[in-house]
Structure formats: C-alpha cells, structure tokens
Chain A
Amino acid sequence: MPKTPPDLRRPGVSRRGFLQGSSVVAGSLGIAAGAAQAQDSMPSAEARTITMNVNGKVRSLSVEPRTTLVEALRDTLGMTGTKIGCNQGQCGACTVLLNGMRVNSCLTLAVMAEGAEVVTVEGLADPNGDLHPMQAAFAENDAFQCGYCTPGQIMSAIACIDEGHAGDEAEIREYMSGNLCRCGAYPNIVAAIVQVRDSQQG
C-alpha cells in the first residue's frame, strides 16, 4: 500500500493549489503598509521539553510552542542538513519525513513532532557510508547545481516513490512540484527518480 500524506491525496493538488490553502503563513499581498513588512511572528511562551526520534535516535529538546520543526532541527539540535529556502511553506527546501510522510518542516511546529519519527537528509546514508539509492542517483544524474534545494528534493523524491506517485515522468513532475529548484535541475531530478524507481522494481 503506498503511503499518501493526507494533503496529497486530493487529486490535482499542486504547489500552487496547496499554497492557496496556506496563504495565512505565506503572507497576504499587503494592503496595509505595516502588515506587508511584518514577519508573521508569534508571541513567546514558556518552553517545554519534547521527545522525538530523529534519524533513529531518541532526542529530548526544549522548545517553545512557536518553534518550528526546522528551527528545532537546525538551531536546537545543530542538524543543518535540512535547509530553509523561504520559511513560508513555499519552496520545499525544508522537506523532511514525519512518520514517513513528507512535510515542510518550516510549516510544522516542533511540538507537533512530539513522539514522532523524523527522518532528515542526514539519516539516509548507511552508517558505513553507503549512500541511499536516491542520494546516489542524484549525484550520478547531476540532479542539482548549488545543492541548496537538494536535501528537500531528496526527501521528497523518496516519498514520491513511496506514495506510488512515480508512475510516469509526468506524474513525477507533478508530485515533485512542491520543491523549487532555482538552478533548474528539474529534468535531472526526474531522471534520478526514474532510475531509483526502476531499480526498486527490478
């Protein structure tokens, strides 16, 4: 059974469709001058300790309710493999797997990951150093240039196959459209995913 995150189960969902649903976070096209400059900040509140399993290790950390998962990973745990490209749920650079499903970790509060299993790009390679097949395929197919979107692309690509959304190239393109690549590596990203999909089927 392919695992499908609830928000991807709707047919025809795309980055742009998805964004309409998250315009509160994305920041509306400002009408009031002050609002356009605001950072959509949240008030502080007392920190609490949460526990989550990150890349197979149980981690306890102290976070405020407003702390996002990506900031907990990067700033609290010092795991900087996961990148921030917008902090607004628009680019997919921060994609991680949360209980096996891909999420934008900048749109996910750390407290929502309490007790959850989180997999980041740092958790993919075998401890002996062997790359995950998707990592190897990205390297071989030159599926990046600057590499900044790459951790998110790779997490998303793994989920794309797991969900059963890698049937043909058109489907891959559609289900990888939540991950922007400004360098324009898209054709090579699709080639990498096709290669991994085929080797898994073979």
Chain B
Amino acid sequence: MAQTINTEVTRTDARRKVTGTATYAADETPSGMLHGALVCSAIAVGQVTAIDTSAAESEPGVVAVFTHETLPDYKTVKGFYAGGPGSSSFWPMEGTDIRYAGQPVAYVVAETAAAARRGADLVNVTYQEADGSIHMDPEDSFVVGAGEDSEGMVLTKGDLQAGLDEAAQTVDMTFTTPFQHHNPMEMFSATAEWRGDRLTVWMPSQSVRTLRHGIAGAYGLPETSVRVISPFVGGAFGSKAGITPYAMLTIAAAKGVGAPVRLIVTRPQMYTVATFRPESRQQFRLGADAQGRLTAFEHVEIAQTPQFGEIVNPGTHITRAMYACPNIHTEQRLARSDTNSGGFMRAPNEMQTFFGLESAMDELAWKLGMDPVELRRVNDTMTHPTEDVPFSSRSLMESYDAVSNSFGWDQRGREIGSMTDGDWLVGYGCATATYPTNILASNARVRAQGTGNAYVELAAHDVGTGTYTIMAQIAAARLGLPVEAVDVVMGEADLPVAPISGGSTTAASAGSAVHDACVKIAQQLATQISGMSEGPLSGVDPSRITLDDGTLRGPDGQSQSVMEALQMIPEGEIEVVGTFRHPALTDQLIKATFSGGYGTAGPVTPEFAMFAFGAEMVEVRIHKYTHEIRVPRIHSAFAAGTWLNRKTAHSQLMGGMIWGISSALHEVTETDKPRSRFLNANIAEYLVPVNADIREVRVEMLEEQDDYVNPLGVKGIGEIGIVGTAAAIGNAIYHATGKRLTALPMTISDVLST
C-alpha cells in the first residue's frame, strides 16, 4: 500500500478543474432563470430622497425594478460579530438610510445579464448627502469591551514602565496598514430558486450551514426546506463566509418575480457589498537587555470599524504569544468610520500585527547589534508568555535554522547597504510567522464498501485548499484504499455538520471527524468479524483489535485487511458518522457550530497553547537610480504538525507567501477622502501580483508531532504563509537602504522619500 498521508498527491478534483467541468455557483442555471443587477449608492452617508425607476422599467428585457419600497418579503439577519450569520449588522434597502458608499439601493431583474446591467444604469436615484469619513481617526479610538475583561482585550503583566526603564535598548514605533479587499477571482454571486416555500440557493460559500441556518431562520422555514449548494468555490479568503445583503436581496427578488434569479456582483461592487480588511495602526514599544532578552513588550492595535457594529480581530492576542517577556501590556482598540462592515481577510489578526511586531523586532536587533535570528532565539519560549501554559509544540527556531540553511543567511552582509550587485542594492530580511490552531466541532459520514470503495460526506468546503483531496487521503489511509477509490461529497448544507472554512480549521477539525469515522468502522467491523465462526480474527476479543491503516490487528499477530473483513459481513459495507469533539470544546461552543456559527476553542486551552510556527527570509533588490523594489527570492520553513498532502500544502503556503508579497508591495484599497469611498475598485488598479512579479518561492515543510491538537496531529496552514512576509520584506529593504518603512504597501516613493 503506497503511503497516502504526508506525501504528494495530485488533487482529486484536478481533472474537473482543468477541463472546465468543476461547477462553481454561477455555473448553475435553473430553468426559467432571470438575471439580477444591483444599483449601488453614489454617496457614502445620507438619505435616498427619490428613486425613479420608470426608464429602467420600460427598458426591453427588464422584468422588475425593486427598491426599499417595493421589494417584497426581504429579510435580514444579525451580523457575524454580533453573534449572527450576517456579513454586516447594517442592512441596506430596509429604508432610506445610506451608511456607506456603494450600498445597494435598488435591484433590477431582467431576462439577460446585459439587460439587467442596462436597467441598473437607468435607475435614477436622488440623494441628500451628509458628511462622512472613510478613514478612522486613530486619536479617537476606544477599547473593545470593558477594559481588563475576560476576553483579554486589555492585558497587563508585570510592570511595563519598569521593563522599559531597565532596558539596554528600546524601540517605540508605529505602523499603519491599509484597507484591503479579498478579491477572489470568482466574483460574488447568488442564485435563488423558490418552489412554493422551498428554497434553493447556489452561492460560493465558506459555510453552507451558516447560510442555510440563517436564511431558514430569517424566513421562518424549517432547515429541511432550504438547500444551499456550493461544491466549488473560486477563492474566498474570508469574503464568502457570512450571509450578505446581496444574497438576501436576490432571495427576495426571486420571490418577487416568481422565477429563479442569479446575481453576479460586478467587480467594482465587490468592494462595497461585502467585507474587507479594516485599516489599522499598530503601536509597539519594546525593550531588551544587552543580551537581547525582552524586558518590555507593549502592543496597542487600533483597527477600523464601521459606525454600526464592532469588528474585532484581536491581533494582540497573537503577538503577545510570541516572545518571552516579564512585562507585557497589550490593548485592542477600535476607531469608527463610514464604511460597510469589515471582516476577516486571510490572517485577519496576524498580517497587520506581524508586519508591526516583526519590523520592530528587526529594529531592536539593529539597535542591539544582534543578528535578528539570534534575537528571536534568545526570546524563544516553550511557555505562553501571558497564559502560563506550555505550547503543545513549537518549532520556531527549527524553522529559522532550516530556512537559514536553504536561503544562505550566513552570506548576509553585516552593515546596511553593504550588499550590491551592479546597479542593485541588495538586502536580506527575516521574520517570524505564526498562526493559532483553532478548534471546531465537526461530523463526517463515511461509508466503506468491501468492493474497495468509500464515500465521505460532510458539509465542509474546498475553497482551493485541497479539502476534497485530503479528506479522501485520510479515509484512504485509514481504510487501506487508493485515494482514487474514495469519493468525497462536500459543499452542501444537507450533509453532516462541518465547520466554517475559516481560521485554518478544516483539515484539522473536519479531517479528524473523517478519521474518527474510519476508527468507528474498524471497531464495528471488529465486533462483527470476531463473532464469526471463521476468519483470522474469529473469537478474538474485539476490544483488543486495533486499526493499523487498512489492517485490523489482533493481540497475537492475527490480522485481516479492512476490505477483506468488510467482504465477510453480510452487509458488505459499514456506514458511520464520525465526530470530532476536542476536550477544549465546551457545550456552548459545540452548540454554536451546530447552529451555523463559529464555535472555536483555542488557541489557548487550560492545558496548552496551540500555534503553528514558521520563519521567512527574503532577498530584496532595490535599483540604485529608479528605486524599483524587487523580490527575487523568498524562502520559508514551517512546522504545523502533520502534513497531509505535501503538494497541496506547498501550494497553500506558497500562495500565502505570495499574498504576503502582495500586502508588502502591491495591495491597497485607495480612498477618495472627500467623497468617503473606495477609489480603485477594480482588479487592474487594485494591484495584486501578476506572474511576472513572482520569482523564486521556496517552502520547506518540517516534520513536527503534536498529539494534543487533534488525533491527526494537524495544525492549520491556510493562513500562516502570509504572516511574516511583509515584515521580512520591510526588514530587507532596511538592510539594503537604511530606510525603515512603516506603512503598507511599501512603494518606490517610500524608498525615494527621505
């Protein structure tokens, strides 16, 4: 039996993806379907005073134009950060209020997409405009929650001032990060079809069960009356988790016209009708003794939040887990501005904060005259600095040592500007990456057949993460089958409960449920075959029969393959539901997940702190005269427990690092301040790397065993790749030029300016 785990397996859905037969939500066309189009607000704050729909309504092909006054049976749900399933806690088209630019104000239904677009352009909206501000004022911020509360939004350990006073060197730095938009390549869409009071929704989703639970609840329907289907998702990165207003508008519009309706949100509208990464300010004060040991650590994060709702992605909870220090103070603050709700975008707590932390650490290393890798080494810790529990596993310095080797860190010039190549200034930089191991409850159904097949079913999602493949690998490994013999069905709310695909949790949590199902199949099988009159395990105490990847083994060396054993039982197959309930999951958390929410435990439990770690190193080249910034090489090493599939894991980590390059050098949602709106709302002027921007990317995946996180020993890897990159690039720019850049993205003009 070839090895199926911790090896390179080609995606089981590869054939469908390369032949165009993978069906994304907008590829479904229910019969009689009409096309929707949104009309979005041209102002940011104020009121709709009138909507003239007459021109649109008389346009050929237009079937209906709905406004807040005419859209029938439109329902809304509570926002995610208020404990609901919604992408926002403010719902457009409930009245005349305009709270952000690009807010939907009317909905056109037509026979073709072109007619719907035309109709949308012909809707004439009149507004009364009020003043607004798209940017937060960091000077006008507030602490989340009640201060020193149980959630740790403000945390003090030791005496920060004393730690600063006794330090040999200190740094006091402020960093800023901009608004960013996920921009998955697949545009947002929703298709709704009502048949009586039964509803089917096709929508790309990171959580089909959140969608179904929320939609059914809003309409007062039993969940069995609502189907949500999302077999393939064209990238999500956090943007497709909640119930969006455009989805609820489409559901209402379909009801209103009595026909299925599909809306494809335009690329510009994608910047305003869903979530984004809020802008932030990161303030750090660090102090260290002459040997580099931290004596003081302060991090205050101020993140943007809308006028309604509080979007809290607590980055300080992650930074304070990083390095040993006796005196720590962290604060999680928010500041308001006039936008739609932000949300979580790939590494929502980590990308911004680690740009700050790891840049500040680099600055501290220069002040101390230390190699930045050595500064991380002297502050490495196997105990969580503020929680007093050990890490379940932590291979930070192993990661640094591995990446130093592959990168050639020892070739780094000691002085700033000491490395050149012709007209290019060369700099090396490094940074730490980490990501918490979040834990969620999950179920999975597995049916193993003695004919040499298995079916795995669960309401998880493959958003490009390779989930179809790894679920098949887990079942194949446990049952002793080739990966191709396992069919995996996911992306439907009717399937057994699996959590939101977010927070890098699916492989660990849902994968553990698949594992558990296979173990249960083996137990059931052991009971049946041990009671049979014949066979190698006949008469053996079933409690002493164990599953050893495809083989049932008795205590005295007897064995039989799972497939042979299945052939012996009359049914020829066994079907069970496996579960994953980590001891850290409380009843309340399990309940949250089972009702469509995000009931996550960890990363800190009463016993352990659970994080994946890694280190990144980059070479930056800056042209002496043009100051163009290039990243010819980026290397990394990560340790994240068990690797399930080295091929897809590599792609995820590499993709994360490319996201990091993007955050460092390309990505920013520009704003039109006078009009309080996002400016470059398209995928040409919102820069993301193109192929020519990306050169050598090397990823090393270290072996690490962690028996505490889950039975598979898997930590998540969807997000860690992005975490250290921006700081590593900034640190390399400093090494090359002596310029410390503190705002993302870092551009030619930043390097030019003095």
Contacts and interface: CB of A to CB of B under 8 A. Distances in A.
Interface of A: 14-16, 19, 26-27, 29-30, 33-34, 36-44, 64, 66-68, 71, 74-75, 78-88, 90-91, 93, 120-122, 124-125, 131, 135-136, 138-140, 142, 144-151, 154, 170, 172-174, 176-190
B424 interface: no
B466 interface: yes
Contacts of B681: 36
Nearest to A14: B692
Contact of B465 (A67, A145, A179): A145
A135 B11 CA distance: 13
Given A85-B683, A142-B10, A33 B652 contact: no
B256 interface: no
B60 to A, nearest CB: 5
Interface of B: 10-11, 13-24, 26-27, 29, 37, 39-43, 59-61, 102, 112-115, 117-118, 120-121, 183-187, 232-237, 264, 266-268, 463-466, 647-648, 650-652, 654-659, 672, 675, 677, 679-685, 688-694, 696-697
Contacts of A87: 187, 264, 266-267
Given A86-B267, A131-B15, A147-B17, A183 B121 contact: no
Given A121-B19, A147-B464, A189-B691, A184 B115 contact: no
22 contacts: A34-B42, A43-B118, A71-B114, A75-B113, A83-B186, A84-B264, A88-B682, A121-B19, A122-B20, A122-B21, A138-B18, A139-B11, A142-B647, A144-B464, A145-B466, A147-B464, A148-B184, A180-B690, A183-B464, A184-B694, A186-B658, A190-B691
Nearest to B122: A41
A63 to B, nearest CB: 10
B185 A36 contact: no
B682 A142 contact: no
B13 to A, nearest CB: 7
A37 B264 contact: no
A44 B464 contact: no
Contacts of B464: 144-148, 183
Contacts of A27: 268, 682
A74 B114 CA distance: 13
Which of A15, A30, A67, A79 neighbours the largest number of chain B CB atoms within 10 Å of its CB? A30
A179 B692 CA distance: 11
Contacts of B115: 44
Q: Which of B27, B232, B683, B697 has the most CB of A within 10 A?
A: B683
B235 A182 contact: yes
B10 A139 contact: yes
A184 B659 contact: yes
B52 to A, nearest CB: 13
A177 B15 CA distance: 24
A80 B20 contact: yes
B37 A39 contact: yes
The 3 closest A-B pairs by CB, nearest first: A81-B20, A148-B234, A146-B464
Q: Which of A75, A154, A183, A186: most chain B Cβ within 10 A?
A: A183
A42 B61 CA distance: 13
A44 B60 contact: yes
A194 B325 CA distance: 50
A37 B102 contact: yes
Contacts of A183: 185, 235, 464, 651, 655
A12 to B, nearest CB: 11
Contacts of A142: 10-11, 14, 647-648, 650-651
Contacts of A178: 690
Contacts of B186: 83, 85, 146, 148
Given A36-B681, A186-B694, 4 more contacts: A142-B648, A146-B464, A147-B464, A148-B235
Contacts of B40: 37
B388 to A, nearest CB: 38
Contacts of B112: 64, 67, 71, 75
A188 B102 CA distance: 37
A140 B39 contact: no
B691 A44 contact: no
A82 B652 CA distance: 24
A26 B681 CA distance: 10
